[in-house]
Structure 1
Amino acid sequence: MPVAATRMPGQRWYTPYLFALPALVLFGVFFAWPAVTAIQLSVLHYDVVSPPTFAGMDNFTRMLGDERFWKSLLNSVLFLIGMFPLLVVLPLLLAVLVNQKVPGIRTFRMLYYLPVVTSMVAVGVAWEYVFHQQGVLNWMLTAFGLLDQPIQYLLDPFWALPALVLVEGWKSMGFYMMIYLAGLQTIPTSLYEAAKVDGAGAWVRLRRITVPLMAPYIAVAFTMEMLDSMQAFTSIYVMTRGGPQDATLTLGYYIWSAAFEHYEMGYASAMGLVLWVLMIGMAVLNHRVNKGQAVVA
């Protein structure tokens, strides 16, 4: 039977709500109020200078015929697909590696986590030198005979988006690795010991023990990867500004450009709502697919 809530002597009914008040205020200021404002702006024509005028569904109708909107949506999906192996698959393998008890492993974990706490602006500027026509990447590939002539990665419509995916993945990989590492440390070592006694090799233990028991953590990583990929902005702003030829124009960057470069606040808000709905839809879908899985205690 459920236990009835008890109140301490002298405790007033509103005391618990006072503890929750700071979080509710932050939620209202940074989520609820901006969301309501965005919904209002999405049905308006507003350029910051002139008074807003009612637009009805014009902003959403414009989206249907906007080639740059569809291009940015496609690039966002490609960005998401490209980030999947870098932020969902590879960090799990790295977590298995750094979960071993070997000398210096803590130092390795710290070094691998450093990019996570480094500013994306600094990371973007550094990687621009790597991808430069005379940069270290072209030098290495040319030295090993893999390239006949240097490639301008960030100026090439084919290579620009993969280059940004690589940068974003490199920076965030350590964070996802730590999520997996926390999950690995909840798996009883007795399972691996029993599997070794039965003759199971490292690949069999990974496939039959690690991956199934890490499924809840994989689901969390996948959800976060989807949300991060759809909102990618800073690396694009620093390194390509959506170019060349809109090859790196993602939905997040296009929304910012419409709002703060062209001052089309209504249209930007309408696209923002579409992005918001897409992210919620993907999160709900991922939750339903992984429904019923519980984190190993």
Structure 2
Amino acid sequence: MAAGRIPGQRWYTPYLFAIPALVLFGVFFAWPAITAIQLSFLEYDVVSQPVFVGLENFVTIVGDGRFWTALLNSLLFLVGMFPLLVVIPLLLAVLVNQKLPGIRTFRMLYYLPVVTSMVAVGVAWEYVFHQQGVLNWLLTGAGILDRPIQYLLDPFWALPALVLVEGWKSMGFYMMIYLAGLQTIPANLYEAARVDGAGAWHRLRHITVPLMVPYIAVAVTVEMLDAMQAFTSIYVMTKGGPQDATLTLGYYIWSAAFEHYEMGYASAMGLVLWVLMIAMAILNYRLTRGRTVMP
């Protein structure tokens, strides 16, 4: 009998349990991925028969100014969301990890935007950013602005506005990632630090942050992937405008595929985006590997 096998168990029993997951993986990931790779070498508009064009789609990408605009906007989106989804949630997690009255209610309320539809969130925030909306009312009332700003129609403000919306909606999710990590840090470390006279800032810097490196790495990776694929808020609020100021790779790929029916070109851009995301994930892994501090 093979080592570790339960008496009476057949060799293929574990694989039977894995079949449903493997089928779902094949149908919803492997097969679409393989199809997308195939389409990236074709010219296909859904109606006509696909035509093999080799690397032509990728050559078109190099000379496509809108693609580079979308890539730049996606990178700006990523940079803008970094403090909102990596830094601030860590501070919030430290706060909600305290034993304070009503802290569980606060956790629940702060997590509500995560489970709210982005369509509903986008529509609500459109009223906030409207020329006669709440934000302009507060800023003009406080004397910060001389006149209202049309945020979603202004090429300078439109992308930061979307970053704020995406960050506000997802902040609770990242806070929970960090909260799970904070639960693993032994309380006696903080108690020893207090005895030695370490203040809150020193405890955060020398205990919390070093021990949270694996969770920070996860948060950074998820944030990068989310930022590079941003779509729903853009579709609901700006449609990539004004003047392509909020045109991201996620939205441009969708537009090429389902508005212009350039399935081959959209698949080629999707493949480039996929390679970029893998490269960023590997870079993040290499930067954080070996920096984990064991309690």
TM-score, scaled relative to structure 1: 0.97
**Per-residue deviation at 1:6?**
3.0
One-letter amino acid of the structure 2 residue matched with residue 40 of structure 1: Q
Distance in 1 (alpha carbons) for counterparts of 2:196 and 2:5: 55
Per-residue CA deviations over 1:80-139 (Å, capped at 9, x if unaligned) read 000000000000000111111011000000000000000000000000000000000000
Q: State whether structure 2 residue 120 is matched by structure 1 residue 122.
A: yes
| Displacement of 1:65 | 0.4
| CA offset digits 1:218-242 (Å, max 9, x no partner) | 0110000000000100000000000
Aligned residues: percent identity? 84
Q: In the alignment, residue 194 of structure 2 is paired with which amino acid? A: K
Distance, in Å, in 2 between the alignment partners of 1:205 and 1:77 is 33
Query: In the alignment, what sits opposite 2:266?
Result: 268
Worse-matched range after superposition: 187-196 or 269-278: 187-196
1:40 to 38, 41, 53: 38
Q: What SS does the aligned partner of 1:195 have?
A: helix
Distance in structure 1 (CA, Å) of the matches to 2:275 and 2:214: 24
1:215 aligns with 2:213: yes
Quick check: 231-240 or 278-287, which moved more? Answer: 278-287
**Would the alpha carbon gap of residues 115 and 66 (structure 1) be closer, same or farther in structure 2, given more than 3 Å must change?**
same
What are structure 2's unaligned runs of at least 5 residues? none
- 1:150-179 superposed Cα distances (whole Å, 9 cap, x missing partner): 000000000000000000000000000011
SS of structure 2 residue aligned to 1:85? helix
The 5-angstrom pairing of residues 246-285 of structure 1 reads 246-285=244-283
**Does structure 1 residue 134 correspond to structure 2 residue 167?**
no
Partners in 2 of 1:254 and 1:211 — Cα distance? Answer: 37
Deviations 1:158-204 (A, max 9, x none): 00000000000000000000110111111111111111111111111
Q: Tell me how far apart the structure 1 counterparts of residues 29 and 269 of structure 2 sit (CA, whole Å).
A: 17
For residue 58 of structure 1, the aligned residue among 53, 56, 59 is 56
Counterpart secondary structure, 2:280: helix
User: Is 2:78–2:227's contact at 8 Å kept on the other side of the alignment?
Assistant: yes
Contact preservation (8 Å) 2:210, 2:293 = no
Conservation of the 8 A alpha-carbon contact between 1:187 and 1:296: no
- How many angstroms apart in 2 are the aligned matches of 1:245 and 1:5? 65
Q: Where does residue 185 of structure 1 map in the other structure?
A: 183
1:15 aligns with 2:16: no
Correspondent of 2:148 among 147, 150, 153:
150
Shift of 1:293: 4.6
Residues 245-283 of structure 1: CA deviation (Å, up to 9, x unaligned): 000000010000000000000000000000000111111
Give the C-alpha shift of residue 295 in structure 1. 8.1
Cα deviation per residue 1:13-70 (whole Å; 9 max; x = unaligned)?
2111101111111111111101110011000000000110111111000000000000
Q: How many residue pairs were aligned? A: 294
**1:254–1:245: structure 2 CA closer, same or farther, 3 Å change rule?**
same
Please tell me whether the aligned partners of residues 210 and 292 of structure 2 are also in contact (alpha carbons under 8 angstroms).
Answer: no
Q: 1:258·1:264 contact (CA, 8 Å) conserved in 2?
A: yes
Query: Which of the residues 214, 233, 236 maps onto 1:235?
Result: 233
Unaligned residue ranges in structure 1 (runs of 5+): none
How far residue 290 of structure 1 moved from its aligned partner, in angstroms, is: 1.4
Let me know the Cα RMSD of the aligned residues: 1.1
* CA–CA separation in structure 1 for the residues paired with 2:255 and 2:294: 44
